[in-house]
Copies of this chain bind each other. A is one copy, B any other.
Amino acid sequence: MGTYKVTIEDVAALAGVGIATVSRAINNTDGISPKTKEKVLAAVEELGFIPNSFAQNLKFRQTKQIALAVPDIRNAFIPEIAYSVEQVAKHYGYRVVQINTLGNIRSELELLRDMKKLHVDGLIILPLAYPKTLKDLINKASLPISIINYGKTLDTDVKADIVSLSTPEGKLVMEHLISIGRTRIGYAGAPKEIIEERFFAYEDALDQIDRSLVYFGDDFSLQTGAKAADYFVNLTHMPDAIYAGNDMVAVGLLNRFKELGIRVPEDIAIVGVDNNLLCTITTPKISSVSIMGAEVAKVATELLLQRIEEQKKGLFERVQFEPRLIVRESSLSRTRSTHHIE
């Protein structure tokens, strides 16, 4: 329709008033009589006038937009986070700009460097790695930032709100595997540079580490899980349990083991991390640690938006969530393997 370029002046002309009056009418500002207000609103309706938000932004120095930077929206638990962020943002009247950093550290840095250019009111970032340069950039950035933090140890003096999991997820996994009587516990996942805490939990839980029980693949994928399974099977002394760095790896392990005729959990127990939907649809179902994606994202977004709205400087929040272990069939103890949990 050609009705697009309707401006406040057109409305003013039609209503026979000044533009200031129109502005007052549509913004419910004081200082306008009910009668003229009605007249103006009628004109607005007739012309289908919608305020140009650039002009408003220019005026207010606000965009009502936040950016959400994640490694890759296609990854396991990220959609849940993206969804949660958008719901909260919508509730506050904000929009969400989506950015995939591709877990590329350079890309995360560039992102922050370009932040001003983006002209968003705030940023939620889920960093894959956490180099010092990133921290410096965050501290130098002149806009509110919330960090969703999985498995990294962050410096405490970062000028951003941080929502993270307090207990390393892996700790729960290891304690559980030990509690069901497993003694040769292996690890499979991406190299420790990626999400180091997941692997550190493994090291911490054991008195001494048998390096042959640790498999580092390229990433946290099904393929990595499958390759890990092949690796473990060829050991002269196989593990009796495996802590998988995430659920994708766990599923990859499980499927390959099944193909190779190895029973889970009888021969090997498997526990993953993320509590992905996948865990409930495999046979056996896979025990996993829920990392509370929706909740974490919700709080991170709320903190960010409150900071924006209240123009809060300093006093950065540190919120901790506790991961939850959900025990399923893949890690039932042998002695009570008939006992049904979940």
What residues make up the interface of A, taking CB atoms closer than 8 Å to B?
A: 1, 3-4, 50, 52-55, 57-58, 63, 65, 68, 72-74, 78-80, 82-83, 86-87, 95-100, 116-119, 140, 142, 222, 251, 255, 258, 277-278, 280-283
Q: Is the CB of A1 within 8 A of B86?
A: no
Q: A65 vs B119: C-alpha distance in the bound complex, in angstroms?
A: 12
Q: Is the CB of A98 within 8 A of B72?
A: no
Given A52-B58, A222-B277, 14 additional A-B pairs, CB 8 A: A54-B54, A54-B58, A58-B58, A73-B73, A73-B79, A73-B82, A73-B86, A74-B80, A82-B98, A83-B100, A86-B100, A98-B98, A222-B281, A277-B278
- Can you list 27 A-B pairs with a CB-CB distance of less than 8 A? A3-B142, A4-B116, A50-B116, A53-B119, A54-B57, A57-B57, A65-B97, A73-B79, A73-B82, A73-B83, A74-B80, A78-B79, A79-B79, A82-B98, A83-B100, A95-B97, A96-B98, A98-B98, A222-B280, A251-B281, A255-B283, A278-B278, A281-B281, A281-B282, A282-B282, A282-B283, A283-B283
**In the A-B complex, the 8 residue pairs with the closest CB atoms:** A54-B57, A54-B58, A98-B98, A4-B142, A74-B79, A50-B116, A53-B119, A73-B79
A87 — nearest CB in chain B belongs to which residue?
Answer: B100
A232 to chain B, nearest CB (A): 18
Q: A55 vs B278: C-alpha distance in the bound complex, in angstroms?
A: 47
Q: Is the CB of A97 within 8 A of B100?
A: no
Chain A: interface secondary structure? helix
Q: How many copies, total?
A: 2
Q: A96 vs B99: C-alpha distance in the bound complex, in angstroms?
A: 8
> Across the interface, which residues of B come within 8 angstroms of A116, CB to CB?
4, 50
A138 to chain B, nearest CB (A): 12
A6 — nearest CB in chain B belongs to which residue?
Answer: B116
A110 to chain B, nearest CB (A): 11
> Across the interface, which residues of B come within 8 angstroms of A87, CB to CB?
100
> Across the interface, which residues of B come within 8 angstroms of A4, CB to CB?
116, 142
> Across the interface, which residues of B come within 8 angstroms of A99, CB to CB?
86, 95
> Across the interface, which residues of B come within 8 angstroms of A222, CB to CB?
277, 280-281
A82 to chain B, nearest CB (A): 5
Q: Is the CB of B54 within 8 A of A119?
A: yes
> Across the interface, which residues of B come within 8 angstroms of A82, CB to CB?
73, 98
Q: Which residue of B95, B98, B282 contacts A86 across the interface (Cβ within 8 Å)?
A: B98
